[in-house]
Homo-oligomer: A and B are copies of this chain.
Amino acid sequence: MRSRKTSIRDVAARAGVSTATVSNVLSGRKPVNADLCERVLEAARALGYQRNRAASSLRSGRSSVVAVLVPDLTDTFFAAIVSSIEALGHDQGYDVIVASSRDNRRIEESRLAAMLEWHPAGVIAIPCSNTVPESLVQQHQDMPVVLVDRVIASEAPTDTVTLDNADSGEIAARHLVERGHRNILLAATRMDIAAISERVGGASELIVRQTGCAPTVLELTSSLARGTEILSSWLERHPLPDAVLALNNVTTLSALSALAGQRIAIPDRVSLMAFDDYPWMSARRTGLSAVDQPVEAMARAAWDRLLLRMQRRQTTAPRSIVFNARLVVRDSVKELEGKKPVRGSTGVPLAVKSSQPEKTGQPRADDDISVH
């Protein structure tokens, strides 16, 4: 059975060299004579040698592990982030250890604690709440940490990668308002998540400013099933709004389900603005108009930032990188006749900030700022 694994010593013996030489050949950290190199490689191959990373990282004090924490591995957005990080990481020789907090602070701390025992070279985390996990604030001096998505960028002591949430809410709302919608339902998850409340804020403000009507905000939780229930029962008790604006991909799905459950046609009876843009959104006859987040670029930005810190020991001030969402117009938002915006004397949008399309995939220059 499990005979003692062949170690570097066995290889050294077979190749007739010292263990140090073997190590140097295998890790390539110090130059070695081509001859010996060959012999070592040969011996290693013959013995089926496999280096022991635990030993190696223990001795060297370096780690090639990156820890990734997300609230839910089945959420399309988080899965996309993990997938990108995994690819990027492996390309640089890092192994990725993942954990899901299942949207629970307690689990989050416990998962983090477990992962931190590996003394990872860095961690990329999407916290489940606004408060930066205790263990990360404690350790971020000693270990690069990048916080993504659900963070209050200005309050985090670490690098952050986020969306300009308020702006994204505004973009979505503007599209709805410009097409004559006034009575708008905001499908949020939980208002205590900054990303969400900021989107709600951005959308609400614009809606109120332009139409004078305050939107209704519904908290659907982060559970798809629960969200569908909540929205369904709300729909039963209330007159149909002009439009539903979903504030992330889960609420988008909840909205879709609830609406489908009551056979409410989109966009004939209600318009729907989706958040995020995944294949399943556009794979049906009436594709969903959406506010799209540059997920991949965000993942890359997080990775680049982490890599930088992992490579250079120097501690520069934390930086927050902010991305912009992009409007994708498809068929789920109807043009409402005779219901033009009331306020705003001209047809010109009141807010100009993002009327000019930004290149997706590029952090916004003016927001790519250093705080602290």
**Interface residues, chain A, with chain B CB atoms under 8 Å away:** 1-3, 5, 48, 50-55, 57-58, 63, 65, 72-74, 76, 79-80, 82-83, 86-87, 90, 93, 95-100, 102, 110-111, 113-119, 138, 141-142, 224, 253, 256-257, 260, 263, 265, 279-280, 282-285, 287, 313, 315
Q: If A2-B142, A5-B119 touch, does A83 touch B72 (CB 8 Å cutoff)?
A: yes
**Do the beta carbons of A76 and B73 come within 8 Å of each other?**
no
Cα(A100)–Cα(B63), bound, Å? 21
List 3 A-B pairs, minimum CB-CB distance, nearest first.
Answer: A73-B83, A256-B283, A280-B280
Cα(A51)–Cα(B118), bound, Å? 9
Q: A64's closest neighbor in chain B, by CB?
A: B114
Cα(A226)–Cα(B138), bound, Å? 46
**Do the beta carbons of A74 and B74 come within 8 Å of each other?**
no
Q: If A73-B79, A73-B82, A95-B118 touch, does A257 touch B285 (CB 8 Å cutoff)?
A: no
Partner of A284, one of B50, B73, B284: B284
**Do the beta carbons of B73 and A74 come within 8 Å of each other?**
no
Q: If A2-B142, A74-B80, A285-B265 touch, does A86 touch B58 (CB 8 Å cutoff)?
A: no
Chain B residues contacting A115 (CB-CB under 8 Å) are 95
Chain B residues contacting A100 (CB-CB under 8 Å) are 83, 86-87
Q: A315's closest neighbor in chain B, by CB?
A: B1
Distance between A93 CB and nearest chain B CB, rounded to angstroms: 8
- Which of A72, A96, A115 has most chain B Cβ within 10 Å? A96
**Do the beta carbons of B224 and A279 come within 8 Å of each other?**
yes
**Do the beta carbons of B74 and A87 come within 8 Å of each other?**
no
Cα(A73)–Cα(B84), bound, Å? 9
**Do the beta carbons of A279 and B263 come within 8 Å of each other?**
no
Cα(A141)–Cα(B48), bound, Å? 14
Chain B residues contacting A263 (CB-CB under 8 Å) are 285
Chain B residues contacting A265 (CB-CB under 8 Å) are 285
Cα(A93)–Cα(B99), bound, Å? 12
Distance between A370 CB and nearest chain B CB, rounded to angstroms: 20
Chain B residues contacting A57 (CB-CB under 8 Å) are 54
Distance between A242 CB and nearest chain B CB, rounded to angstroms: 19
Partner of A74, one of B51, B79, B284, B315: B79
Cα(A100)–Cα(B98), bound, Å? 12
**Do the beta carbons of B283 and A253 come within 8 Å of each other?**
yes
Q: A48's closest neighbor in chain B, by CB?
A: B138
**Do the beta carbons of A54 and B58 come within 8 Å of each other?**
yes
> Would you list 29 pairs from A and B whose C-beta atoms are within 8 A, ordered by A residue?
A2-B142, A3-B142, A5-B119, A50-B116, A50-B117, A51-B117, A52-B58, A52-B117, A52-B119, A53-B117, A54-B54, A54-B63, A54-B118, A58-B58, A65-B97, A74-B83, A90-B114, A93-B114, A95-B97, A95-B118, A96-B97, A96-B99, A253-B283, A256-B283, A257-B279, A260-B283, A263-B285, A280-B280, A284-B284
**Do the beta carbons of B90 and A54 come within 8 Å of each other?**
no
Cα(A119)–Cα(B58), bound, Å? 14
